[in-house]
Amino acid sequence: MHKRLSSLLFIVFLYTQLLQVFLAFSLPLNDDKTKYTVISRDKNAERSHSIKIGNGSFERAEEYKCLGTILTNQNSIQEEIKSRLKSGNACFHSVQNPLSSSFLSRNLKLKIYRTVILPIVLHACKTWSLTLREERRSEGVWE
């Protein structure tokens, strides 16, 4: 309970700081779109759905996208990897005709793959903290 209370107090503190910045610049803070999450690998972490601060009630987000990266409350990178592979697959299908053309050399096809498809799949991968299972699954994929 002590850990939960300190987390909630910290969320309240961050919210008040955020609100002060918004007010300083005369910006409205949309309480309906403001959510929070608690990131933990503990599968038994409490699943509170919303908290009340002042007149606002804030929903707990299980996952959200921040700067193009999917973050989950379990700190799992699996959803991000799935999303990246899905985006890379869509990109591959969009350039499939040129890649299967006999008019382009193999070197040119590799350049297209390395400059168009691979960056989409590997975006922000240096920030991923993979489990051993995820690391084993990805062996050979990135080469």
Q: Transcribe 21-56 into DSSP letters.
A: HHHHTTPPP-TTT-EE----S-TT-----EEEETTE
Residue 68: inside a domain, yes or no? no
If one compares 38 and 114, the residue with the highest pLDDT of the two is 114
Asked whether residue 104 is assigned to any structural domain, the reply reads yes
Residues 6+ apart with CB under 8 A from 11: 36, 51, 53
Decide if 69 is inside a domain. Answer: no
- Same-domain status, 44 and 88: no
C-alpha to C-alpha distance for 22 and 29, rounded to whole angstroms: 7
Q: What is the pLDDT of residues 58-84, one digit of tens each?
A: 788 777 777 777 777 777 777 778 888
The answer to whether position 115 is within a domain reads yes
130 three-class SS: coil
The neighbour count for residue 34, using CB atoms within 10 Å, is 15
In a domain, 143, yes or no: no
Full domain range(s) for residue 110: 77-138
Q: What is the mean pLDDT of residues 7-13?
A: 80
- Is residue 6 domain-shared with residue 54, that is, in the same domain? yes
CA distances from 64 to 37, 38, 96, 120 (A): 9, 11, 31, 19
Which amino acid type is present at position 71?
L
Q: Is residue 67 included in any domain, yes or no?
A: no
pLDDT at 24 over 90: yes
Residues 129 and 89 in one domain: yes
pLDDT at 1 over 50: no
* 10 and 49 share one domain: yes
User: Which among 37, 61, 85 is the end of a domain?
Assistant: 61
DSSP 8-state code for residue 96: H
- Indicate whether 12 and 57 sit together in one domain: yes
The answer, as to whether pTM is greater than 0.75, is no
Give per-residue pLDDT as tens, 88-139.
899 999 999 988 999 999 999 999 989 999 898 888 777 777 777 777 776 6
Whether residue 8 is found in the same domain as residue 56: yes
Residue 98 lies in a domain: yes
Count of domains in the chain? Answer: 2
Report pLDDT for 103: 92
